[in-house]
Amino acid sequence: MKYCESIAQLKRRPTREVMVGPVGVGGNNPIRIQSMTTSNTRDVEATTQQIMRLADAGCEIARVTVQGMKEADSCEAIKNGLLQKGYSIPLVADIHFFPPAAMRVIDFVDKVRINPGNFVDKRASFKVIDYDDYSYAQELLKIEEKFTPLVEKCKSLKRAMRIGTNHGSLSDRIMNRYGDTPAGMVESALEFARICRKNDYHDFIFSMKSSNPQVMILAYRLLVAEMYKLGWDYPLHLGVTEAGEGEDGRIKSAMGIGSLLLDGIGDTIRVSLTEDPWHEIDPCRRLIKFTQEYSQQNELIFEERCRDFQNIERRAITYPKHIGMHKDGTVWVSASKNNQEDALFYQHLGCEVQLGRPQPKISSIDGLIIPDGDFYKQVLQPLQEIGISIFSSHSQEGVVPLLNLIEARQYVNQHKFLLNSQTSWALALSDESPDEWEAIPSLQPSLIIFRPSSSRVFKARRFFDWLKQNQIGIPVILNFQYSGSQEDLVIQASMEYGALFCDGLGEGIWLEAPYDINYLRHLSFSILQAARMRMVKTDFISCPSCGRTLFDLQEVTKRIRERTSHLPGVKIAIMGCIVNGPGEMADADFGYVGSKAGMIDLYVGKECVQKNIPFAEADDKLVELLKSYGKWQEPCLT
């Protein structure tokens, strides 16, 4: 099924142009950057100031929350204030649950965003309801009756619309027929799009957001595949919702948005962070920069036969007996000669130190690459004793050889009698041709390091397709090298590794960049976790805040993260309000949700288990809840 223009080259999907005020989205326009205010929309001055600061930072479209009539009326003053100050940036109203607010605010704004999961349907109660075809059709008629007036008004005023599905706020009706799935997300949006088209209204944009990059990627691809079948050409707004803050938020967003941009999918983007909104602009710019660089790199066209984007399955792998690897994703780092002199060397590899010797932890590396020249044996041997493999491209006793194709042929000829027994070695490939890959089965390497110099994602797709076609189960470590700033590294590495890991391609990460090994180890594990491969810390889902938020989301998120970040595999959602919080937590294990001023509700999954907890007590109550479900462990003081 076709979901993009090319899997070997970056070719942007052709779309129609949708005008959002004076800004064109799609068509021949560049990828547009947008963000959302965090101020109370009723506070006209504060909201206007935020939008001006966003525009000055490079934001091209600004969104505000509109939960009622007072907020809708405030948008008139906000829009007029912006124009008076010389700011023509388009204004978008975000609507949930209350269609009358949309009908009012569309007089003042350039675009309205509606959520098909709650524009007409009530908040999901997750009840099992048996809809036959007739009752389902009746529900669709109700949607058409309530939605059509907004469509007609947008059409007459030449206003744009975003039909924005969120994974966590699908209606009971959709979930009972399609499940809580990407397919349900797509159908939820298509129901509203069909009403738009029935009224000959086409100035709309789609979005398919989730806090899980894999779900988000699949939903967008399914939507585009459906549009190819239907002959539709509507633009797409990309984003990972509730991505969180700091580096983790940027990694998740770059992984989801970046993977799709490399597919040529996406016309406007927002990086949702639990930070001040102008901090979202820089990662957007970096994503667009790396996308533009990729558009100038091409891999030879090939027919992909083994990767099914609708059903991601990892390859069947035969792991080497004498090389330490992790089934959920292997992490390697490179060491310099100076590293061994560092008193914290073992800690930087993720190990705990007891009586001067390293002990493995959940976030310890699996492999260490050392340069030519002898490392101190007394430094390396304790690592090998705890299962960390040592690699080098130079011959050293007790170290796994890392060889290119020419070296590998010589090595195999010299060690034929040892192959398939005790000898382990790794084959390093870069830009070899498929004809040269034909030597791999006869060489029988223990594992492969794949390090293309350019077009990394496209070349890797081709290589993994060849491996699958030839039923070669040798594990592959992806080795990408970067030279840019730390900010560039986070975005580019998450984009490239994420595009492959989220498609089930690659068994490990060896990330090289001019930064210390402790940071590169940390970033590698964060990338694996964002791709839902190897979980080594708490996974936080936090909304970016908006005018509905009932507490200081940045401060609370920071506080809860500091207290609970040591719980591997536990997913905690921190949501600013009751309007969308319970639904948009999606797959979180535990939820901390603002219910009203000064009060917090706590959730286990989608069930509210404690209501109206005073704000001052809520953090302790969350820890008690984690303990009661056996998810708590005391933090390590070291």
Dist CA 430 CA 469 (whole Å): 20
Q: What integer is the mean pLDDT of 557-580? A: 84
* CA dist 272 → 92, 172, 243 (Å): 16, 26, 6
- Residue 413: per-residue pLDDT: 82
Q: What is the mean pLDDT of residues 24-38?
A: 98
CATH 2.60.15.10 fits 17-294, yes or no: no
pTM over 0.85: yes
End-to-end CA distance of the chain: 51
Check the CA dihedral 13-16-20-23 and report its sign. Answer: positive
Q: In this predicted structure, what is the pLDDT of residue 343?
A: 85
Q: Which residues contact 583 (CB under 8 A, 6 or more apart)?
A: 117, 118, 123, 124, 166, 168, 169, 170
Q: Quick check: 39 and 46 in contact, CB under 8 A?
A: yes
pLDDT for residue 377: 80
Among 315-324, 338-347, 625-634, which is the least confidently predicted range?
338-347
66-75, 260-269, 505-514, 550-559: the lowest-pLDDT one? 550-559
pLDDT value at 442 more than 70:
yes
pLDDT tens digit sequence for 90-112: 999 999 889 999 999 999 999 99
pLDDT at 195 over 80: yes
Task: Give the model's pLDDT for residue 97.
Answer: 84
How far apart are the C-alpha atoms of 387 and 323, rounded to whole Å? 8
pLDDT value of residue 175? 87
Examine the pLDDT at 373 and tell me if it is beyond 80.
Answer: no
DSSP state of 180: S
Cα separation, 553 vs 543, in Å, equals 8
CB 584 within 8 A of CB 543: yes
Q: Which tens digit of pLDDT belongs to each residue from 219-249? A: 999 999 999 999 999 999 999 988 888 999 9
Residue 620: per-residue pLDDT = 93
Lowest mean pLDDT among 68-82, 360-374, 577-591: 577-591
- Where exactly does CATH 3.30.413.10 map onto the chain? 539-628
**Cα angle value 210/600/128 (rounded, 5°):** 50
Rounded distance between C-alpha atoms, residue 20 and residue 90, angstroms = 6
User: In terms of pLDDT, which residue wins out, 88 or 179?
Assistant: 88
Separation CA 318–CA 306 (nearest Å): 18
Distance in angstroms (rounded) separating the CA atoms of residues 529 and 36: 27
Which ranges of 170-294 does DSSP label H, i.e. alpha helix? 172-178, 182-198, 213-230, 246-262, 281-294
Q: What is the pLDDT of residue 130?
A: 79
480 Rama sector, left if φ>0, alpha if ψ -120 to 50, beta otherwise: beta
**pLDDT (0 to 100) of residue 168:** 82
Domain 330-530 has CATH 3.20.20.60: yes
**pLDDT tens-place string over residues 7-26:** 999 999 999 999 999 999 99
Q: Give the CA radius of gyration of the chain.
A: 26
pLDDT in tens, 306-326: 888 999 989 999 999 889 899
* Per-residue pLDDT band at 278 (split at 50, 70, 90): very high
Spell out the residues 6+ positions from residue 488 whose beta carbon is closer than 8 angstroms to its own: 286, 290, 482
Residues with Cβ within 8 Å of residue 586, at least 6 apart in sequence: 167, 168, 210, 211, 212, 215, 242, 541, 573
630 burial level (CB within 10 Å; 0-12, 13-18, 19+): exposed
**C-alpha dist (Å) from residue 336 to 340, 372, 480:** 8, 9, 18
Would you state the pLDDT for residue 36?
97
pLDDT, position 304: 85
CATH 3.20.20.20 domain extents, the chain:
17-294
Report the range out of 264-273, 412-421, 564-573 with the highest average pLDDT: 264-273
Confidence band, pLDDT 50/70/90 cuts, at residue 197: very high
* Model pLDDT, residue 455: 93
**Between 369 and 322, where is the model more confident?**
369
Considering the chain, tell me which residue range(s) the CATH 3.20.20.60 domain(s) occupy.
Answer: 330-530
pLDDT of residue 546 exceeding 80, the answer is: no
| pLDDT score at 395 | 75
**Does residue 532 register a pLDDT over 70?**
yes
Write down the pLDDT at residue 285.
98
Fold annotation for 539-628:
Sulfite Reductase Hemoprotein; domain 1 (3.30.413)
Judged against a pLDDT cut of 80, whether residue 207 lies above it is answered with yes
Label residue 539 by pLDDT band (50, 70, 90): confident
